[in-house]
């Protein structure tokens, strides 16, 4: 009889039915990018596509969700702004999770035929901190990211992908205070400390590792755990201010500056009285950026 030596790890694994099902590492995917494109400080934006999902009716068995009235106004408003930037716009209403993911796949397949420089997805719905609701169940944020990341959506590699959600991310209502603005006329002696950073050069090898999260920009109507104001008769405050900021956007203005304008308009100067029923409550939009370059949606030709 021939004896075979086995390591203790293999012996232990033989009693673990999940051991053999562990996913093996996949070989890395290598793609090409020109040195000019890699070195550029800005994304080149000459074309774009906007997908809008407006869900207003819900049948979720484990969540008591009312109708999301007024979303059609938000959809029209945001479509107008991006159409003015030359984006192709598509709108879908009241999609189930399955229909949503199928629509994503069809949109991705068209990108192989007609490439674009920027992708924008706007979702108008109910939501939580972990995702947004289709008509029948929650779609996790991770599901959306995975659908359009560098691995699963090759046409959008190195391209900016903007995800805008008008939904609540919880039930908490942010508190607010009234602040008087004044000019202190301080002496020139008051100084703000400055920080100086030294850039460290990193040599470029033949290949780079592109993170799947790279080039995403997430724009939320409210901070984590907070609710978002809605107005069924007209645009929601967040979409209204975002649309106005995009409309007023200057040529070659960085999109971060546009979003900061929305932050100021919604979080600081927004007059909520007469529009919502809550006094001393506020809404603070936020964005999370994984962009690797500066983003200019209105570029000089």
Q: Is the pLDDT of residue 276 over 50?
A: no
Cα–Cα distances in angstroms (integers) from residue 195 to residues 187, 192, 198, 208, in the given order: 22, 10, 10, 30
Label residue 162 exposed, middle or buried (CB < 10 Å: 0-12, 13-18, 19+). buried
pLDDT in tens, 241-273: 999 999 999 999 999 999 999 998 887 766 554
Tell the residue number behind the tokens 């947004």, with chain if given.
132
Residue range 169-175: average pLDDT? 70
Q: Under a CB-based contact definition with an 8 Å cutoff, are residues 259 and 219 in contact?
A: yes
At 32 the pLDDT is 66
- What integer pLDDT is reported at residue 23 of this predicted model? 52
pLDDT digits (tens, 9 = 90+) for 135-155: 999 999 999 999 999 899 999
CATH class given for the domain over 48-170+212-301: alpha beta
Alpha carbon distance 156, 150 (integer Å):
7
Please give the backbone phi and psi of residue 139, each rounded to the nearest 5 degrees, phi first: -105, 115
DSSP of the chain: -------HHHHHHTT-TTSTTSPPPPPPP-----HHHHH-SB---S-EEEEEEE------TTS-----TTHHHHHHHHHHHHHHTTEEEEEEES--HHHHHHHHHHHHHHHHHS--SEEEEEEES-EETTEEE-SSSEEEHHHHHHHHSTTT-GGGTTS-EEEEEES-SSSB-EE------------TT----------------S-----TTTTEEEEESS-TTB-----TTS--HHHHHHHHHHHTPPTT--HHHHHHHHHHHHHTS---BTTBS-TTEE---EEEE--SSB--SS---
What percent of the chain lies above the pLDDT cut of 70? 72
- The string of pLDDT tens digits covering residues 85-136 is 999 999 999 999 999 999 999 999 999 999 999 999 999 999 998 899 999 9
Residues 166, 283 contacting (CB under 8 angstroms): no
Q: How far apart are CA 294 and CA 297, in angstroms?
A: 10
Nearest to 127 by CA among 51, 233, 220: 220
Distance CA(117)–CA(161), nearest Å, equals: 9
At 31 the pLDDT is: 58
pLDDT at 24: 54
pLDDT of 50 > 70? The answer is: yes
pLDDT in tens, 179-212: 454 555 544 444 333 333 333 344 444 566 778 8
Q: To the nearest whole percent, how much of the chain has pLDDT over 90?
A: 50
pLDDT of amino acid 192: 37
Measure Cα distances from 210 to 19, 129, 216, 219, 269 in Å: 29, 27, 12, 22, 39
pTM of the model: 0.76
Listed in sequence order, the residues at least 6 apart from 101 whose beta carbon sits closer than 8 Å to its beta carbon are: 139, 143, 147
Residue 282 pLDDT greater than 90, yes or no: no
């Amino acid at each position: 009889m021939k004896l075979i030596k086995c390591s203790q790890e293999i012996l232990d694994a033989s009693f673990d039915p999940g051991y053999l099902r562990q996913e093996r590492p996949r070989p890395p995917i290598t793609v090409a990018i020109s040195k000019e494109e890699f070195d550029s400080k800005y994304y080149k934006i000459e074309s774009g596509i906007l997908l809008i999902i407006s869900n207003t009716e819900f049948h979720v068995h484990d969540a008591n969700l009312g109708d999301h009235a007024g979303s059609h106004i938000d959809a029209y408003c945001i479509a107008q702004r991006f159409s003015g930037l030359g984006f192709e716009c598509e709108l879908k209403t009241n999609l189930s999770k399955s229909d949503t993911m199928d629509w994503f796949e069809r949109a991705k397949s068209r990108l192989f035929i007609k490439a674009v420089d920027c992708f924008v997805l706007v979702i108008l719905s109910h939501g939580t901190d972990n995702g947004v609701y289709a008509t029948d169940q929650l779609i996790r944020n991770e599901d959306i990211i995975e659908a359009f990341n560098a691995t699963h959506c090759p046409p959008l590699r190195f391209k900016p992908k903007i995800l805008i959600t008008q939904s609540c991310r919880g039930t908490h209502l942010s508190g607010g205070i009234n602040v008087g603005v004044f000019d202190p006329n301080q002496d020139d002696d008051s100084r703000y400390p400055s920080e100086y950073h030294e850039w460290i050069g990193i040599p470029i090898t033949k290949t780079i590792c592109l993170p799947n999260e790279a080039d995403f920009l997430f724009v939320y109507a409210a901070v984590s755990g907070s609710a978002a104001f809605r107005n069924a008769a007209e645009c929601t405050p967040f979409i209204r201010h975002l649309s106005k900021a995009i409309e007023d956007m200057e040529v070659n203005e960085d999109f971060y500056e546009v979003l900061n304008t929305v932050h100021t308009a919604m979080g600081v100067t927004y007059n909520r009285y007469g529009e919502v029923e809550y006094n001393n409550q506020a809404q603070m939009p936020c964005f999370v950026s994984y962009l690797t370059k500066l983003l200019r949606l209105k570029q000089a030709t």
